[in-house]
Structure 1
Amino acid sequence: MLQTLARLPCLEHSNAAFAWAGAEAFLALRGHRLDVPPKGAAVLVREAAAATAGVAHVAHQLRAWTRPAENP
């Protein structure tokens, strides 16, 4: 989903932020949170948008950053 949203011009601007927010919200709804290093999200979205990172790479990176959500 992140790669698709980053590559398709859904919005007039801010597609990268939209792609990241969509991926983060999807994972949160599934009970996961992301522990992302500084600038990690920007690099991943930029690579996905430029098609230098394929779906497998994006999935692998998101999986590496995914942690179980903490229960309140």
Structure 2
Amino acid sequence: MKFLEKLTSKKGQVSMEIGILVAAAVAVAAIAAYFYATNVKNAQAETGASAKSTTQALTNVSSDATTGIANITL
């Protein structure tokens, strides 16, 4: 109940405590947004590299299959 008494005090301390709480929440949100944006950027780069290697592998397979078809004799 001391917490409730503290919230209802008339000393102006409540507004300072709420201000500190809001500032801490804003700081945490800013840090989380930074890490989110960094991870999205890294994921995009990794996805592009993965797509490029997959495309190269499929190109090699299709090239080998095309060469095999050309070597068929009747």
Scaled to the shorter chain, the TM-score interval is under 0.3
Structure with more helix by fraction: 2
Q: Which has the higher contact order (CA 8 A, sep 6+)?
A: 1
Larger Rg: 2
Q: Which has the higher strand share?
A: 1
